[in-house]
Each structure stands twice: as C-alpha cells, then as structure tokens.
Amino acid sequence: MVGVRIALQLLPGGSLLGQALSEFEGAKMNARLEQLEEDLPQRLGEPLAKYGERAKELSAVLYSLVQAQPQDIPTTHLDWDSRLEPFKKELRHVEADGLLQGSHAIGPGGEFKAGLRLNRGFVVYLALLHDKSQLIEKLTPAIDEATVQLNGRELRKSIELPLTVIDSFFDDYVSRGQGFKSQEIGSSLYIPKV
C-alpha cells in the first residue's frame, strides 16, 4: 500500500487519493486497492489513457523489457525491441511528456533506434501496474523501516523485483528527502535518514 501512495504522489491529483488510501486498513484496504486499480483511469485521468487505447499494452511491453534486463546493474536504458515497433506513436507522446527519452539516430529507422531511457518515476508506476503487489508491499516497508544502508542487489534476493525497480524506489525516496543514494555508476545503495 505504501508503494501505491508513493506512485500516487508522482501523478497529478494523486495526493488527494493518497490521503483517502490512508483511511483504510486490513482486508478493507486490500479490497479497496483492487477497486482503486480498476477505477484509476476515471479517478486520476489515468496517465497512460491520454496516449490512446494501446498505452496499457505498451506499458506491459516496457515493463517486460525492464524485467528481462540483466540484474547486475540498475539501468533505465532499454535497447530497442521489435515488440515496440507498433507503439511508435504512443512512444512519441510518452516521450513528449518526459516519461521516457528516446535515443534517436538520423536516417531511416533512426527513431528510437538506439533504444530509450525511462524516467525513474515512470519505472515505479510501471512496477505498480504490472508486478505482483505483494512484492511492492515487501519493498516499501523495507525502505521505510531501514536504519542502515540498503544494498539493492541484496534486497533483490529477498524481494525478487528487478534491480532497476528497487533502484527507482530508492530514487523516489531520495526525491522526497527520506535518504541518500550512492551516485557511483552501477551501484544501488540507499542510506536512510534516521
């Protein structure tokens, strides 16, 4: 549930919905979460809905590419994949809104030819949409309750989320002033403010 609240803070109008989420507990909370996921497009104006009917399908493809990445280095860069070809129009719109950045080349077939880089907040959103909620519900308390440095690679062994997703959650916590994250290339270390 904490993960949903984090993602909602990233979305326009999400803070009001986040407050409502805080009022529910136990089984009621889980039932409400399921209903919320179904109603999300109507309540928030589903961020992906404005990109067309196929945007949800695109988000599933993007998240499957995140999951398929090697898990030794957290990276938001995705190589071009032929499964993205039918979604070029949607990718252009998503890029225009800053949720991803294409690596373009000039010439035929150059659009997104060198791949794309996902915004870390968008990675969190994709994980909330497409990964197992119980894994997200294990990750957020682990970060919230940390009193010592967390290593994303070690955390991944027990939580089984892609390293890029864990690292993106670390970035989200840093952006909200909850801790510090190593800036060393290839590392995935988070230090909470205690």
Residue 192 inside a domain? The answer is no
Ordered DSSP codes for 125-191 = HHHHHHS-HHHHHHHHHHHHT--S-EEHHHHHHHH---HHHHHHHHHHHHHTTSEEE--STT--EEE
Residue 67 inside a domain? The answer is yes
Residue with tokens 């993960």: 3
- Strands across the sheet with 179-181, in order? 150-151, 189-192, 179-181
Give the pLDDT confidence score for residue 103 in this predicted structure: 85
Domain count, the chain: 1
Residue 116 inside a domain? The answer is yes
Please state the pTM of the whole predicted model: 0.74
For 149, residues 6+ apart whose C-beta sits below 8 A from its C-beta are 189, 190, 191
Residues of the chain with pLDDT under 50: 24-26, 33, 36, 40-45
Give tens-digit pLDDT for 132-148. Answer: 989 999 999 999 999 99
Residue 45 inside a domain? The answer is no
Residue 191 inside a domain? The answer is no
Residue 174 inside a domain? The answer is no
Residue 83 inside a domain? The answer is yes
Q: Give the separation between CA 162 and CA 67, rounded to whole angstroms.
A: 6
Residue 153 inside a domain? The answer is no
User: Which residue range(s) make up the domain with 92?
Assistant: 52-120
Give the pLDDT confidence score for residue 45 in this predicted structure: 46
Give the pLDDT confidence score for residue 41 in this predicted structure: 45
